[in-house]
Amino acid sequence: MTRTFKLVNARLATGEKSSITVEAGVITSIGENAKSDVTEIDLKGKLVTPSFVDLHTHLREPGKENAETVASGTRAAVRGGFGAIYAMPNTNPVADTAGVVEQVHSLGLEEGRCDVIPIGAVTRGQEGKQLAEILAMAHSRAGVRVFSDDGNCVSDPLLMRRALEYVKIFDGVIAQHAQDPELTKDAQMNEGIISSRLGLKGWPAVAEEAIIARDVLLADHVGSKLHICHLSTAGSVEIVRWAKARGIHVTAEVTPHHLLLTDELASTFDPIYKVNPPLRTERDVHALRDGVADGTIDIIATDHAPHPLESKECEWPAAAFGMIGLESAFAIAYRALVKSGSLSLQSLVAAMTTKPAVIGSLSDRMSGLTVGAPASLNVIDLEKEWVIDRDRVESKSSNTPFHGLQVEGAVESVLFRGEWVMRDGAILR
Ligand SMILES: [Zn+2]
């Protein structure tokens, strides 16, 4: 592989045609007058984006390697066009010490096909009782900046306040899984007409909204940064909109599945649709899309949650919560937001690249398509139609709710720091 090459006939998300020169892993010029007399690769008008950044991935290693490993999860990431994924700490052991986050970090470096950035637990064992070693994780080789008890909510307001105070020291962020545990005991799906018809215990919107309301006020009080994981209700969007208008440092994410699917799918009793937070109503889906469109919701994050077959092939109440999502994320978000007319392609790309990089303190490595930035980018065929197939995924798990769905927009090639890690659909590393 030549170390210097030029991508020609590239389409940028803004619609302009451009050329991009890559030398020794770095973008050295962009534009029509880009340096010539080097190897040219003709992209034939395909879209070029910076590498995607996922602030919310579950890799399951250490401890649940039958569901996913750093190796399989990073392959799924590359397939989806992700150059950086943030690994949630609900592993076994929980990533609540410098030792565990350094282990996850080095496993990612060994695989070397994308960045694996550990998220540290907020509380020991994610039990919500005592703070974890937040400063030790921040100062470890993994340099953790994002902390979350995802899967569990930091429901104790005093612990949440202390955690926000700690991360303020190094300009970190607490990513809250907003779910009041008392309001959601044994909850199985969204609380509404369908849950009562099906006889499944409901999960009220207020269980999410009450925690978000409390936490934006705490973040304001402490003057610290708060990130809200996987917003799922119209009311949550309203609260975050209000908080941003007040100047509170809050950011928010939404998953591709919450932008497309509704709680009516629970009528199938197929636990493939069982997820936390639950799929909500059509009204919520539209409010979430509007929230992305007006910038209330900053980013798209996958909440890629692999589970082995036996955890999903059972009765609904016994099944695990969660869906895989890395490999289909762009196509689903493109359909839900851009094809629906809610959002421009340029804004979708920002919501999957530079904006999550800023929230995760990764702007130095993921600064977008700019001269001097590491050459980590995707080549995407927007016109290409493909069918999501659970039997052809890189993930070790196959729990996608989109099996059989025809979508548009295929990530074809992926460049990571100047090296092709996927080329024309074939993963090379
Ligand atoms: Zn969560």
Task: Give residue 56's identity as a one-letter amino acid code.
Answer: H
With beta carbons less than 8 A apart as the criterion, state whether 276 and 181 touch: no
Going by their DSSP bridges, the two strands 225-228 and 250-254 should be labelled as parallel
Query: In the prediction, which pLDDT does 1 show?
Result: 52
Dist CA 73 CA 67 (whole Å): 10
Tokens 């960045």: give the residue: 115
**Integer angstrom CA distances of residue 45 from 9, 50, 381:** 5, 16, 9
Between the CA of 383 and the centroid of ligand 1 the distance, in Å, is 33
**What is the enclosing helix (H) or strand (E) of 220?**
helix 205-222
pTM flag (> 0.95): yes
With beta carbons less than 8 A apart as the criterion, state whether 21 and 3 touch: no
Residues at Cβ < 5 Å from ligand 1 ion: 150, 177, 229
Domains and CATH numbers, the chain: 4-48+374-427 (2.30.40.10), 50-359 (3.20.20.140)
Between the CA of 317 and the centroid of ligand 1 the distance, in Å, is 18
Query: In the prediction, which pLDDT does 366 show?
Result: 86
Between the CA of 140 and the centroid of ligand 1 the distance, in Å, is 25
Query: In the prediction, which pLDDT does 367 show?
Result: 85
Mean pLDDT, the chain cut into blocks of 10 residues (429 residues total): 85 95 95 76 97 98 97 98 98 98 97 97 98 98 98 98 98 98 97 97 98 98 98 98 98 98 97 98 98 98 97 96 98 98 98 98 90 96 98 98 98 97 96
Between the CA of 231 and the centroid of ligand 1 the distance, in Å, is 10
Taking only the tens place, the pLDDT of each residue in 60-81 is 999 999 999 999 999 999 999 9
Angle at which helices 282-293 and 345-352 cross, to 10°: 90
Q: Which residues are catalytic?
A: 303
Between the CA of 219 and the centroid of ligand 1 the distance, in Å, is 19
Taking only the tens place, the pLDDT of each residue in 306-333 is 999 999 999 999 999 999 999 999 999 9
Average pLDDT for the chain: 96
21 CB-near residues (< 8 Å, 6+ apart): 4, 5, 6, 7, 27, 28, 29, 30, 34, 35, 38
